[in-house]
Amino acid sequence: MIGVIMIDPTGIIVNYHIAYTKEVLVDVPGIKSKREASKLIGKKAVWTDEKGTKYEGYVSGFHGRKGTLKIKFRKPLPSKALARSINIAE
């Protein structure tokens, strides 16, 4: 399953130029409710950059009522990961 990392200026960008991306919001096409999103809690998420470096995390919960997922990573993602796709294991 593939989702897209959302750009949320109020939640990610702090101090005008520093991005703290250890926890990101992901919008997955096809998931429209809290009930559908809750089935993915605890699943593994992996984002891979152009060099092949893997950033691993897990779905920690949902955000809001429309199925947006919260994903926590061990290491913070680089800022170039924002608005890119991410793989979520089913």
Q: Which domains does the chain have, with CATH numbers?
A: 2-88 (2.40.10.190)
**Which one has a higher pLDDT value, 31 or 2?**
31
Distance, in Å, from the CA atom of 55 to the CA atom of 34, rounded to the nearest integer, reads 26
Q: How confident is the model at residue 13 (pLDDT cuts 50, 70, 90)?
A: very low
Residue 58: other Cβ atoms inside 10 A = 17
- DSSP, residue by residue, 25-73: EEE-TT--SHHHHHTTTT-EEEEE-TT--EEEEEEEEEETTTTEEEEEE
Q: pLDDT tens-digit profile of 39-64?
A: 999 999 999 999 999 999 999 998 88
Sign (positive or negative) of CA dihedral 60, 64, 69, 70? negative
Distance, in Å, from the CA atom of 40 to the CA atom of 42, rounded to the nearest integer, reads 6
Distance, in Å, from the CA atom of 49 to the CA atom of 66, rounded to the nearest integer, reads 28
Q: Residue 38 — φ and ψ, nearest 5°?
A: -65, -20
What pTM value is reported for the model? 0.79
